[in-house]
Amino acid sequence: MEFFNCHTHQFTGQSNILELVNQYPQELDAAIPFYSVGIHPWYIKEDQIDEDLKIIEEKLQTKNCLAIGECGLDKRIEIPLDQQIIVFEKQLALAEKYKKPVIIHCVAAFQEITEIRKKLKISVPMIIHGFSKNGQLANQLISAGFYLSLGKYLLRNPDLKTVFQSIPNDRFFLETDTIDERIEQVYNLASEYKNITIKELQDVISSNFKTVFEK
C-alpha cells in the first residue's frame, strides 16, 4: 500500500492504493476489496432501519469490511435529530461488538457526537471524515479521542493549512470523498503542509492505518 484513501465513494481499483470505499446496506457491492458500510443520516428510512442494521452486522463480520460508516449526525437536514441519534447509537453498538472503527459524518453536531462517545464509553477508533473546521475544534476532538480525516476542504481552503499543521501526525488520515482529484494530490499537498517527504507521509499514514484498522 503506497496510498490509503480513508473515505471515498469512487472505487478506482488501482493496485498501489488501498481505498476504503463507502457503501450503503441496500446497494452493497461485495466485489469491492475494502469498504465501510453504514446508515448515513441523510438516508435514514424508518421502515428500513432494522433490515439495514442486519446487513451491516453481517458485513462487519467479514475481512473486507474495515469499518462502519459513514454514519453520524447532521443538524442541517429534516430528519429529526432524536431519530438520527437512535440510529447512530445502534451502529456504535455494532462497532463495539465487532471491534471495528467508525467513519463519522458530522454537520453542526460535534458536541452531541462527543457526548455520545463519552456516554456510551466507545472504545473503538472514531474518525471524523471531511474535517473542515478551525484549530480549536480540531484540538477539542483530538483531546476527546477522535481521529480527523481531511481531503476535499484541504485542497479547496488554504485557511486549513495551519489547522492541518497543528494536528498530531498520529491522529489524521487523508481522503477524497466525492471529489474528482486523486488521493496522490491530497498526499502532495499534505506533505508540503507538514514539511515532510511523500515517503515520510506514507509511513505516518501506514502507521495510523495499522493502529486503527489492524487491531
Domain with residue 107: its CATH number is 3.20.20.140
Helices 81-98, 49-60: inter-axial angle, 10-degree rounding: 20
Q: What is the pLDDT of residues 61-112, one digit of tens each?
A: 999 999 999 999 999 999 999 999 999 999 999 999 999 999 999 999 999 9
Dihedral class, residue 60 (left if φ above 0, else alpha if ψ from -120 to 50, else beta): alpha
| Number of domains, the chain | 1
Which helix (H) or strand (E) element contains residue 150?
strand 147-150
pTM, two decimal places: 0.97
Q: Give me 199's grid cell.
A: 515517503
Domain carrying residue 96:
3-213
